[in-house]
Every structure is written in structure tokens, then in C-alpha cells.
């Protein structure tokens, strides 16, 4: 965790220390709050020095995550491969098409990144349509699983009501409005920037890492794409990349 971590309200600009159990701006009651780390070239230089001796997983970027240390429950989330899709790229007329393989996370999902950062306080409620395998994966972590016979949106409403009743004891995951979730997903962008610099080195590059021209991701709530783009903007402010990609989903 960065010593300069704070959260900023995107509605009114109010800034305060980060607290995981606070979801709304105390000044304007706004829902959209974002983590800041005082990103600058000095922090970027410090990060480059430190990650040289760290494993390639999401914890190598801990200075830019809202947690103090790697938790004991971690199963080495992140660090997924970036594959050069040569055949598909040839069909599409794209010489340098790369696919980030998030299936290589512990439970075959990018959501492992989100879960591990909030797991200690998070309980899940799942709709009845969720596959048995996924429910089993959640239960493995010692989490209480409550099966709700309803649609995805209805289940979210039930979860919100349940969390509200458990005052002070239950963390409600709020998707794109959740600080830990966005911070977890930006590590996908960090990894891609590192991997692209190695796979596609740019002669005379002014920055050590490289961003793609375009970033494509399948969307549901949009958490992944929003988090990744936040990560790229942070890297640019730290002088680690020289551009932010266009995005589509």
C-alpha cells in the first residue's frame, strides 16, 4: 500500500483516507469514489526497482493496491500469460493481436483478482443459475453461500438488502463503485504493459513499459474495462507508459 493512498469523490472532489467499509462521500453522499496514490515519476521509479525481486502475480504492484500486505489466503492470483494469437490475427488482418488468458487464475476467472482483495470481509449471494462448480469454488474459501432463486439483478438487490441488515458486519461488493474491485482489475493492465514491452520492444522507447493501441474486453457490468483503463492512466502519470489505449467492449 502506498503511504499516499486516499480516496477522492468524483462528484465533488472531496478527499479522505481510505476506509473499506465506507461507500459514500461524507460531504455530498456521492457513490463514485476512486483510490489515488499520488502517482508521479518518483513512485514509478520506486515501483520498477522493487518489482525486480517479486514473483509475477498481482501482488508485485502492492504499492498501488489498497491493502497493506499479501494475505495468507492468496493463491497467487494474476500473472496470467499474454498469448500472441497469430492465426486469429492473420484472419483479422492484425499482425500483433494478443490475448490475455485469465483462465489461468486459480478458479479460471479474472474475478479471482477481485475476490482475494476483499475476501476477508466479503460474503457472496449467488443466483440459482450460477453453475455448481462456481458455487463450490466460493465455498472453498470458507465463505457462506446463500442460493437465491432469482435473476442476476434481483439477486444483487437481495444481497444489498441483506448487507444493509447486517450493520457493520458485512461488506457489500458494489462493482464499479467498489474501490477494491477496480484496484484489483487494474492489475490486468499493469501486467499487459509489462508483457508487451517484452514481447514487442519499441526501439528508442521513452518509457519502460508499453500499452496496446486498443484494449478489447467482453462486458457485463464493465468493472474489468474500467479498472484496466484506470491502471493505464496511473502508469502514464508515473512515466511507465507513454499512452493510454482506446477501449472497446
pLDDT in tens, 31-44: 899 999 999 999 99
Per-residue confidence band for 123, with pLDDT thresholds at 50, 70 and 90: very low
Please provide the average confidence, as pLDDT, over all residues in the chain: 85
DSSP states of the chain = --TT-EEEETTT--EE---TT--S-TTT--S-EEEE----HHHHHHHHHHHTTS-SSGGGGGGGSSSSS--TT--------EEE-HHHHHHHT-TT-EEE-GGGSTTSSTHHHHHHHHGGGB-EEEETTS-HHHHHHHHHTT--EEEE-S-HHHHHHHHHHHHHHSTTT-BPP-GGG-HHHHHHHHHHHHHHHHHHHHHSPPTT-SSSS---SEEE---SSSHHHHHHHHHHHHHHHTTS-S---EEE-
Q: Is residue 196 scored above 60 in pLDDT?
A: yes
Q: Are residues 19 and 100 in the same domain?
A: yes
Do 89 and 212 reside in the same domain of the chain? Answer: yes
Q: Are residues 105 and 156 in the same domain?
A: no
* Pair (212, 230) in one structural domain: yes
Q: Which structural domain, as residue segments, surrounds residue 219?
A: 6-109+176-248
User: Are residues 78 and 51 part of one domain?
Assistant: yes
91 is a domain residue: yes
Are 65 and 79 in a shared domain? yes
Q: What average pLDDT does this structure show over 138-167?
A: 72
For the chain, how many structural domains are there in total?
2
Shared-domain flag, residues 38 and 99 = yes
Same domain, 36 and 105: yes
Pair (23, 100) in one structural domain: yes
- Residue 142 sits in the same domain as residue 22: no
Highest mean pLDDT among 76-80, 85-89, 106-110, 222-226: 85-89
Query: Percent of the chain having pLDDT more than 70?
Result: 84
Amino acid at each position: 500500500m502506498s503511504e499516499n493512498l486516499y480516496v477522492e469523490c468524483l462528484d465533488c472532489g472531496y478527499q479522505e483516507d481510505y476506509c473499506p467499509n465506507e461507500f459514500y462521500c461524507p460531504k455530498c453522499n456521492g457513490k463514485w469514489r476512486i483510490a489515488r496514490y499520488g502517482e508521479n515519476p518518483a513512485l514509478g521509479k520506486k515501483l520498477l526497482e522493487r518489482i525486480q525481486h517479486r514473483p509475477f502475480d498481482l501482488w508485485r504492484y502492492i504499492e498501488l493496491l489498497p491493502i497493506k500486505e499479501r494475505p495468507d489466503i492468496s493463491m497467487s492470483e494474476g500473472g496470467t500469460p499474454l498469448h500472441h494469437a497469430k492465426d486469429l490475427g492473420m484472419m483479422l488482418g492484425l499482425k500483433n493481436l494478443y490475448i490475455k488468458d485469465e483462465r489461468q487464475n486459480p478458479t479460471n476467472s479474472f474475478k479471482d483478482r477481485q475476490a482475494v482483495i476483499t475476501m476477508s470481509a466479503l460474503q457472496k449471494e449467488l443466483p440459482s443459475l450460477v453453475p455448481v462448480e462456481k458455487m463450490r469454488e466460493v465455498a472453498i474459501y470458507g465463505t457462506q453461500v446463500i442460493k437465491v432463486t432469482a435473476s442476476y439483478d434481483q439477486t444483487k438487490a437481495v444481497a444489498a438488502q441483506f448487507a444493509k441488515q447486517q450493520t457493520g458486519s458485512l461488506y457489500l461488493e458494489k462493482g464499479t463503485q467498489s474501490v477494491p474491485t477496480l484496484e484489483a482489475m487494474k492489475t490486468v493492465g499493469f501486467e499487459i504493459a509489462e508483457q508487451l514491452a517484452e514481447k514487442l520492444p519499441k526501439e528508442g522507447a521513452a518509457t519502460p513499459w508499453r500499452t496496446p493501441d486498443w484494449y478489447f474486453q467482453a462486458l457485463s457490468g464493465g468493472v474489468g474495462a474500467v479498472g484496466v483503463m484506470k491502471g493505464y492512466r496511473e502508469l502514464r502519470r508515473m512515466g511507465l507508459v507513454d499512452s493510454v489505449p482506446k477501449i472497446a467492449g
